[in-house]
Amino acid sequence: MLNHSERVRILISCEDKPGIVAAVSQTLFQNGGNIVQSDQHTTDPVGGMFFMRIEADIADFEEKREKIYGDFQELARKFNIHWRMEQASRKKRAAIFVSKEDHCLLELLWQQKAGHLDAEFVVIISNHPDLQEIAKEMNIPFYHLPVKAENKKEIEAEQIKLINKYKADCLILARYMQILTPEFTKTFPNQIINIHHSFLPAFVGANPYARAYERGVKLIGATAHYVTDELDEGPIIEQDVQRVNHRDQLDDLKKIGKYIERTVLARAVKWHIEDRVLTYGNKTIVFS
C-alpha cells in the first residue's frame, strides 16, 4: 500500500542562532518528511533576525499531524521560534472588497481561472452595486453594503459577519475606496491586502494620479501592502512602476496605472496565498 504524501509549507522567524536549520531538517526527517524547497534570509550576520520558508512532502501527514506539531512546539521553545505550518492542498479562502472599478477584480478572477492563483474567492463585498453582474457571472456571492460616515462601524460589523460566515482566510481590497477603521484592521492582522495606486511612500491617500500629474513625475507606480491602522503605511508586499512623459495627460496616467495596479495586486495575492510572505516590523520578507 502506497503512503499518501502531503505537501506542507513551514514559515519560521526568530533571532539568528546556530543550529536552527539542522534542527528543523532533523525534525522533518524524523517524521518522514522530504524537503523539496528551502529558502532563508538573515537581516544581519551578527545578532540579526532569521527567516525561513520550507516546502516538504510528509508521508501519512494526517496520521502524524499531532506529533509533528508537538515536535515543532518543542523546537519553538528551544530556539524561541515563531512558526506556522500550512498544507498546500488547502486552498486559501479569500473575500474580495470592491467599489466601482473592475480592473483589479477581473485580473484576480482571470488569474484564478487560468490556474495562476490557487485560491477560492468565496464572497465579494462592495459599497456600490456596479460589479454585481460580474460576481453573478462567476457564481460568487455578492453583498452591497453602502458605507457612510455615520454607519461605518455598523457596516464593518456586517462585513465581519460575512467574512466569518464564508470562513475567509484573507481579504483583498481590489480598489475598495474606503478607509477601514482601526477596530476592523486589528481583527485581521496581516490578512488584508490593499492595492494603492501610487509607488508608496509617494502620494499617500486620495487622488494620487492627479497629484502625480501636477507634480510632473516621470514614473508612476502601484503598491500592494498589508493594511494597518495607519493609512497606506502597512508592510509592502510588491511594487512596480512604468515610465511616463510630458505628453501623458491625467487620463493617460490613470490608464497606465490600471495595468500596473492589477498586475501588482495579483502578484501580491499569489505570494500571500502560497505562504511566501513573512512580516518583520513594518517590512516583509517575500520568498518569491
Residues labelled catalytic: 232
242 beta partners: 220
DSSP assignment of the chain equals -PPPEEEEEEEEEEE--TTHHHHHHHHHHHTTEEEEEEEEEES-TTT-EEEEEEEEEEETHHHHHHHHHHHHHHHHHHHT-EEEEEETTSPEEEEEEE-S--HHHHHHHHHHHTTS--EEEEEEEESSSTTHHHHHHTT--EEE----GGGHHHHHHHHHHHHHHTT-SEEEESS--SPPPHHHHHHSTTTEEEEESS-TTTT-SS-HHHHHHHHT-SEEEEEEEE--SSTT-SPEEEEEEEE--TT--HHHHHHHHHHHHHHHHHHHHHHHHTT-EEEETTEEEE--
- State the pairing for strand pair 119-126/142-144: parallel
